[in-house]
Amino acid sequence: METLAPDKPTLVYKEGDGNIAVLNGKTIAMIGYGNQGRSQALNMRDSGLHVIVGNRDDTYKARAEKDGFEVHPIGEAVQLADVSFLLVPDEVMGDVFERDVRQNLKDNAAIVFASGYNVAFGLIELPANADVLLIAPRMIGVGVRECFLNKKGFFSFVHVHTDRSGNANAVLLALAKGVGSLVKGAIDVTFKQEAVLDLFNEQAFGPAFGRVLLSAISTLVDAGYPPEAVLVEMYMSGEMSYTYQKMGDVGLVKQTNFHSQTSQYGAMSRGIKFLSLPVKEKMKEILEHIENGGFAREWEQPISRLKFKLIKFFAMRQKINKLERDVRRRLGVIEKDILEAEPPTDEEMQALNEIKKELRAFENSFSEF
């Protein structure tokens, strides 16, 4: 185990910190067999652990059975398990927990969340008889499996929220090792810190980055550059993802060494022109709204689901979508997984009437490009 800043030590767990033998004779139930569930179940089984799956009777169940797992209804899997990983979408987690998990938990069993959201914002009332753990991969599901198979591992955020058994930390680290995260490193952060970091990345960095990217594209297209060349230059080539990878590998600034001298001079000398943008102030506002639970409360309101439906509809009608579709067709890039969005029904629009002004602002914001 390593600690970082000496004044406020961060615990970073590595391969040597986990002992899988702690889980000998234990049954681990994966509740949900989707993005994370499938990859984590396969990794755990390959690490020599006894894994079962809890799922409703549908295609995910069939997939788990095809992969050779014993599949039970969720409540039954929890009853059989010493450790239950709750790997269903965060939006349904509360209902699944109350319906199938709480009353079926064995005393001193452990429940493991892959996201801090529901616990951090008080959306699930935690049971008193179980260990409550966090193992939140910083990796999408397919990556969790790939990085296990190629032995590179993946970072995760881990935490013991409740140690009912008296052995929760050893169990946490054995599980983190079994799933394949300790190869790279597991960083101890609270449920709230995990949730806030995740939401902040999505709500502050993501949209700010998107806005910058769209501004760059529209500046070039408006100036008469060929859209095919603009989109390839800006993101379709995939060069950006290499740059991102190199940031992680060698450092945010040091990765510039992989670019030409001209590129480095241009980038470093022009950053100053964007210094006055009030990005950080906006980000602080967003952070505060997440930290004080404002976002979670907003998202819990039924009207937010309707609002989301309409905003997504606006987003899918943005000019960039048509431009992109034409460019992809002309470049022969196969269109896959392009989402279309249905507009809200008349009845839903009626319900949205009270936030009409706010919605108009969203519509305008998407009509720029």
Question: Residue 127 Cβ, how far from ligand NDP at the closest point, in Å?
Answer: 17
89 lies in the binding site for ligand NDP (CB under 6 A): yes
Around Cβ 100, how many Cβ atoms within 10 Å?
Answer: 21
Kindly report the number of other CB atoms within 10 A of residue 296's CB atom: 18
Could you say whether residue 94 binds ligand NDP (CB under 6 A)?
A: no
Minimum distance of ligand NDP from residue 319's CB (angstroms) = 29
Token code pair at residue 324: 């992109």
Task: Give the total of residues touching ligand NDP (CB under 6 A).
Answer: 22
Q: Is 146 in the site for ligand NDP (CB under 6 A)?
A: no
Structure tokens at 53: 């799956």
Quick one: 57 or 342, whose CB is closer to ligand NDP? 57
Minimal distance, residue 30 CB to ligand NDP, in Å? 9
Within 23-62, the residues that bind ligand NDP by CB under 6 A are 32-37, 55-56, 58, 60
In single-letter form, the type of residue at position 302 comes to P
Residue whose beta carbon is closest to ligand NDP: 34
List of residues 6+ apart from 24 with CB closer than 8 A? none
CA separation for the pair 264, 260 (Å, rounded)? 6
Q: How many whole angstroms separate alpha carbon 134 and alpha carbon 87?
A: 12
Q: Which two tokens stand for residue 356?
A: 């009409």
Q: Give the 3-state secondary structure of residue 122.
A: coil
**How many Cβ atoms are within 10 Å of 77's Cβ, its own excluded?**
24
- Judged by CB under 6 A, the residue of 101, 136, 160, 179 near ligand NDP is 136
CB 29 within 8 A of CB 130: no
Considering the complex, what minimum distance in angstroms separates the CB of residue 190 from ligand NDP?
Answer: 16
By C-beta, is 191 or 320 nearer to ligand NDP?
A: 191
Position 178 contacts ligand NDP (CB under 6 A): no
Nearer of residues 92 and 149 to ligand NDP, judged by Cβ: 92
Closest contact distance (angstroms) between CB of 232 and ligand NDP is: 27
Shortest reach from residue 57's CB to ligand NDP, in Å = 8
- For ligand NDP, the binding residue among 115, 169, 181, 256 (CB under 6 A) is 115
Q: Per the structure block, which two tokens stand in for 311?
A: 């905003």
- The residue from 1, 21, 62, 140 that contacts ligand NDP (CB under 6 A) is 140
In this structure, the strands spanning 185-188 and 155-162 are parallel
Among 44, 87, 160, 323, binds ligand NDP (CB under 6 A): 87
Based on CB atoms, which residue is closest to ligand NDP, 36 or 169? 36
CB under 8 Å to 216, separation ≥6 — which residues? 234
In the chain, where does DSSP find H-type helix? 35-46, 59-66, 74-80, 90-96, 117-120, 141-149, 168-179, 191-200, 206-222, 227-231, 239-250, 261-270, 279-291, 294-300, 302-316, 319-331, 346-351, 356-367
Binding site for ligand NDP (CB under 6 A): 32-37, 55-56, 58, 60, 87-90, 92, 96, 114-115, 136-137, 140-141
